[in-house]
Chains A and B, each alone.
Chain A
Amino acid sequence: MQLNKVGIGLIAFFGLAGTAFAIVPILVGAPGEVAGILASIGVIWVLVAGGLYWYAKHQEKKAVHNDWIFRQGLRGTATVLSAGSHAEVNEMPLMSLRLELDVPGQGTREVKRREIMPVFAASRMEPGLVLPAYVNPEDPDDFVLVW
């Protein structure tokens, strides 16, 4: 996943508006109860912005790591054994995949992977589908599934 323009706008909105809610009532001398309620809302919004920012950074870091595996990793294949979804994130299915990972020099083994995929990609994940995979040469459990 990656942050898009809407995401940047959401982080900016919740961060700035939350800060304003928390600080402005105090600065203008609003009654204590009102200032407290607005400050609570403000803090929650700032936390939301912080959470979104953390998630975006986490995804960015993961992407950098995956790029490294793609460049330096061992190329193999992953055959879909089963695929299903019981949840959605932003209208995209969270796919639970059971895969047979086949990497030259490492043999084959069964692995599980969860991926958020657009509907048009998720609908292609059927048993027997063979996808490219790149495996971290230092950690066979760390791999990138190309879909």
Chain B
Amino acid sequence: MSDVQSAYGELAAARALEQLPSFSPGQLTPLLVEGKGEALEPALRGTLGEGVEGVVGQLAYTRNKTFRFQVTLTQVPAATAFAPRVFCIRRGRSTRDDEFYGFETRHSKLWTESTALNERYEIATSPYQDPNWLRQLFSPGFVDWLGTKPPADFSFELAYGALLGSIEAGDPGAEDLAALCEATAHVATRVREECEE
């Protein structure tokens, strides 16, 4: 059994998660699109954090070189009405090595007053969104949490209600996976709260 499988086995035992042979999430977010529909393997399903159900698994794909991400996927359908797309990506993250396209779909960079947040992440949203809702989502408390608490290589993508948290560790321990689950659950809860406001 590989180290990655051991880590997932340990996490499954500690959190009573269901072990899946593999899980095909579909091309729901930009990172999953980069993965060209590759299944998550190993994969576990169950409670990621308090009140948040989802799947955690390893996404591996080749774009000139092989990329490995540990990802968590959950759903926040209510977010679609407020912000179809919100991407909070660690600065400097690379998800492919074969892109030479000079044009991309339009997005808006979200400006925040937090230097720590701006130094750590690039935050982008779909254009023509309610700026007040986005400002409320990125409340001072959430901004502070994003800047200090999640794993160092954490990023998240919220696209049409699908929330994908991810870390770049190719050889994670069970504690790294647990931290990823907790961070994604925290983001999901925060988005849900703001949708209900």
**B-contacting residues of A (Cβ < 8 Å)?**
1-4, 6-11, 52, 55-56, 59, 63, 66-67, 70, 90-92, 116-121, 123-124, 132, 134, 144, 146-147
- Contact-size category for B: 20 to 34
Q: Are B105 and A7 in contact (CB under 8 A)?
A: no
Closest to B103 in A: A1
Please, could you name 11 A-B residue pairs with CB atoms under 8 Å apart, sorted by A?
A2-B105, A6-B102, A59-B103, A63-B127, A66-B127, A67-B127, A70-B128, A118-B33, A120-B32, A132-B128, A146-B84
Compute how far the CA of A121 lies from the CA of B104 in the bound complex, rounded to whole angstroms. Answer: 13
Please report which residues of chain B, range 74-104, place their CB below 8 angstroms from some CB of chain A when the two chains form the complex: 84-85, 99-104
Please report which residues of chain B, range 112-157, place their CB below 8 angstroms from some CB of chain A when the two chains form the complex: 126-129
Q: Are B103 and A134 in contact (CB under 8 A)?
A: no
Q: Are B102 and A7 in contact (CB under 8 A)?
A: yes
* A residues in contact with B100, CB < 8 Å: 6, 10
Q: Is B27 on the interface with A (CB-CB < 8 A)? A: yes
Picked from A3, A9, A124, the residue with its CB within 8 Å of the CB of B103 is A3
**A-contacting residues of B (Cβ < 8 Å)?**
26-30, 32-33, 84-85, 99-107, 126-129, 159-160
Q: Are A147 and B106 in contact (CB under 8 A)?
A: no
Q: Are A2 and B160 in contact (CB under 8 A)?
A: no
Compute how far the CA of A67 lies from the CA of B106 in the bound complex, rounded to whole angstroms. Answer: 12
Q: Are B128 and A121 in contact (CB under 8 A)?
A: no
A66 to chain B, nearest CB (A): 8
